[in-house]
C-alpha cells in the first residue's frame, strides 16, 4: 500500500459512490444505519447542523470565569495540568533509529519538550473538555506546529449516524461575534480529542469540561461566601443606643449628625428622645456557625479530581484516607495523560505518513514519562524485580520511567567516551547486579528491594 493510500485509508478519505450496492445491506437502511435518535440527541443533531453547541459554549465561558475569579478553581486546573505533563513525552517500546530520529525532530519542531507548551494543552483540555489540535505543514510536508484551537468555535460536520459527511470538510470554525464561517478543516488537519463525551462513537458529541457539573455548586458557594462577609460586617460590631431625655427632634438630629461624622460607615449607634441613657447592644453571637459553607465546600471538592486536603483544607482528614484519595487522583491524572498523549501520537503518525513511513509497520507508542499511579520508589522497586526475573532491559527501563532510546544512546556514548580501553584487553565489563527482595518489609506491606553489584 502506498503512502497516499495509507493516508487516505487512515483518515477515511475513500468514499463509496452513492450508486454502489453494498453487499449484505438493505439500500433503504444505508443512509440512516445505526441512528437511534433519543429526544435530546435528535434536538442536538438538528441544531448542530447549523451552529456550534450553545450548551458547551456556555459551560466553557462559565469555567473560564470561575478560573479567573476563584483561586481554588485555578489551583485545580493548574495542578492537574502540571502533574499530568511532569516528565514530558517519551517514545516507548523499542522503535528503530529511523523512528527515534523522526520523533526527535517532531518533538523539537512542535516544542513538545517545553513544559509550558504541554501544560497549556493540558489546561485547555481540562477547562474546555476538548483538545482540537491543528497541524501546520511547511512546503516540505513536515508538521512544524500544533496549534490548540478554541473548541467552542468548532462545529463537527457529521451526519445522523455520527460520522463525517465529507472528511475533506470535517470541521467548521465560526466567528461567534459575527456568525461568519472562518475556516473549514479536513479531518487530517485537525485532531480533536474529547474528555468524557456523551457518546464516544458519535463524532459530533463533544467533551465536557472537568468541572462542568460543579458549576452550580460553585455559584452557591461564592454567593454564601459573600453573604458571610456581609453578615459579619453588618452584625459583628458593638452597637450603642443613645437616649437624650426631653430633647426635641432638631436637637436629636444635630446630636446624631455630630456622632455619625466621627465614626465609620457601619451603623453602630441608635438614638431616642425618650428617658434612658447610652447602652451597649452586643453583636451577633452566632457568627462562627458556617456549617452551610463547609457543606458547599465539601460538595464542590467532591467533584474535583483531588481531595480538598491537597488544596489546603486539611481539617480533620485522616492521613490514611488522604492516601487513598490521592490514589484516586493519580488514576484521574493517568487517564488525562492517555487522552493528551493520543493527540500527539496522531500528529506524529501524520508526520510519518507524510515522510513515506508506514507507522503500522513500526512498534512504538507515545506516552508521558511519569505515571503517578506509582511512586518513584515503587516504580524502581518493580523495575528491579523485573530485572531479577531476567526480562529484557528495555522493559524494566520503561517500567522505571526512563526513555529507552535515551538510555541506549547514553550507554553507547559512555562506553565510547569514558572507557579508556573500549573493547580492548584492559576493558572491564561488570556483572549484572544481584537483586534480593524482602516481602512485607516496607510500609503498607510493600516489599523491600536490595541491590548488590557483582564484581
DSSP string spanning 356-419?
A: T--GGGS--EEEES--TTS-HHHHHHHHHHHHHTT--HHHHHHHTT--HHHHHHHHHHHHHHT-
Whether the per-residue pLDDT at 162 is higher than 60: the answer is yes
Higher pLDDT, 297 or 32: 297
pLDDT value of residue 197:
87
Residue 10 banded pLDDT, cuts 50, 70, 90: low
pLDDT value of residue 391:
77
β-partners of residue 89 are 368
pLDDT value of residue 30:
37
Give the mean model confidence (pLDDT) for residues 69-82.
88
CA–CA gap between residue 317 and residue 322 (Å, rounded) = 7
Radius of gyration for the chain, computed over Cα atoms and rounded to the nearest angstrom: 32
Q: In the numeric block, which cell numbers belong to residue 327?
A: 490514589
What are the pLDDT digits (tens) for 189-200?
A: 999 999 888 888
What are the pLDDT digits (tens) for 142-159?
A: 888 989 999 999 999 887
pLDDT value of residue 18:
45
- To the nearest whole number, what is the mean pLDDT of the chain? 75
Residue 266 banded pLDDT, cuts 50, 70, 90: low
Residue 176 banded pLDDT, cuts 50, 70, 90: confident
Most confident of 35-49, 246-260, 264-278, 369-383: 246-260
CA-nearest of 166, 142, 144 to 353 is 142
Most confident of 232-246, 266-280, 343-357: 343-357
Whether the per-residue pLDDT at 250 is higher than 80: the answer is yes
Residue 118 banded pLDDT, cuts 50, 70, 90: very high
- What is the percent of the chain with per-residue pLDDT over 90, rounded to a whole number? 15
Whether the per-residue pLDDT at 396 is higher than 50: the answer is yes
Q: Which residue has the cell 457539573?
A: 213
Give the mean model confidence (pLDDT) for residues 411-428.
60
Give the mean model confidence (pLDDT) for residues 344-354.
91
Amino acid at each position: 500500500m502506498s503512502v497516499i493510500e495509507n493516508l487516505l485509508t487512515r483518515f477515511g478519505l475513500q468514499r463509496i459512490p452513492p450508486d454502489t450496492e453494498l453487499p449484505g445491506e438493505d439500500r433503504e437502511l444505508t443512509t440512516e444505519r445505526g441512528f437511534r435518535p433519543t429526544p435530546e440527541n435528535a434536538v442536538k443533531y438538528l441544531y448542530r447542523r447549523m451552529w456550534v453547541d450553545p450548551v458547551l459554549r456556555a459551560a466553557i465561558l462559565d469555567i473560564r470565569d470561575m478560573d479567573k475569579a476563584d483561586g481554588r478553581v485555578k489551583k485545580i486546573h493548574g495542578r492537574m495540568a502540571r502533574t499530568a505533563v511532569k516528565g514530558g513525552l517519551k517514545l516507548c517500546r523499542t522503535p528503530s533509529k529511523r523512528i527515534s530520529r523522526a520523533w526527535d525532530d517532531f518533538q523539537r519542531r512542535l516544542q513538545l519538550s517545553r513544559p509550558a507548551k504541554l501544560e497549556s494543552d493540558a489546561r485547555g483540555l481540562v477547562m474546555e473538555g476538548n483538545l482540537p489540535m491543528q497541524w501546520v505543514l511547511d512546503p516540505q510536508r513536515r508538521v512544524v506546529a500544533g496549534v490548540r484551537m478554541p473548541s467552542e468555535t468548532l462545529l463537527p460536520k457529521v451526519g445522523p449516524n455520527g460520522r463525517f459527511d465529507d472528511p475533506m470538510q470535517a470541521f467548521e470554525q465560526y466567528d461567534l461575534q459575527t456568525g461568519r464561517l472562518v475556516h473549514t478543516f479536513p479531518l487530517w488537519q485537525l485532531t480533536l480529542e474529547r474528555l468524557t463525551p456523551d457518546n464516544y462513537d458519535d463524532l459530533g458529541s463533544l467533551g465536557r469540561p472537568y468541572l462542568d457539573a460543579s458549576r452550580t455548586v460553585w455559584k452557591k458557594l461564592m454567593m454564601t461566601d459573600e453573604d458571610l462577609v456581609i453578615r459579619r460586617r453588618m452584625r459583628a460590631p458593638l452597637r450603642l443606643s443613645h437616649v437624650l431625655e426631653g430633647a426635641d427632634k432638631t436637637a436629636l438630629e444635630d446630636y446624631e449628625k455630630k456622632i455619625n461624622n466621627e465614626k465609620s460607615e457601619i451603623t453602630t449607634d441608635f438614638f431616642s428622645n425618650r428617658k434612658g441613657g447610652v447602652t451597649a447592644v452586643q453583636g451577633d453571637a452566632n457568627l462562627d456557625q458556617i456549617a452551610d459553607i463547609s457543606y458547599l465546600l465539601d460538595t464542590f471538592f467532591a467533584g474535583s479530581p483531588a481531595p480538598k486536603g491537597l488544596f489546603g483544607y486539611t481539617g480533620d482528614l485522616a492521613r490514611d484516607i488522604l492516601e487513598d484519595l490521592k490514589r484516586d487522583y493519580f488514576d484521574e491524572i493517568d487517564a488525562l495523560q492517555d487522552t493528551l498523549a493520543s493527540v500527539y501520537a496522531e500528529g506524529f503518525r501524520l508526520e510519518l505518513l507524510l515522510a513515506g513511513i508506514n507507522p503500522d509497520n513500526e512498534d512504538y507508542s507515545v506516552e508521558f514519562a511519569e505515571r503517578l499511579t506509582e511512586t518513584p520508589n515503587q516504580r524502581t522497586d518493580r523495575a528491579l524485580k523485573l530485572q531479577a526475573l531476567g526480562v529484557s532491559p528495555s522493559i524494566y527501563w520503561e517500567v522505571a520511567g526512563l526513555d529507552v532510546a535515551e538510555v541506549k544512546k547514553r550507554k553507547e556514548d559512555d562506553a565510547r567516551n569514558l572507557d579508556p580501553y573500549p573493547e580492548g584487553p584492559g576493558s572491564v565489563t561488570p556483572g549484572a547486579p544481584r537483586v534480593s527482595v524482602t516481602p512485607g518489609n516496607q510500609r503498607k506491606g510493600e516489599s523491600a528491594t536490595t541491590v548488590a553489584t557483582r564484581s
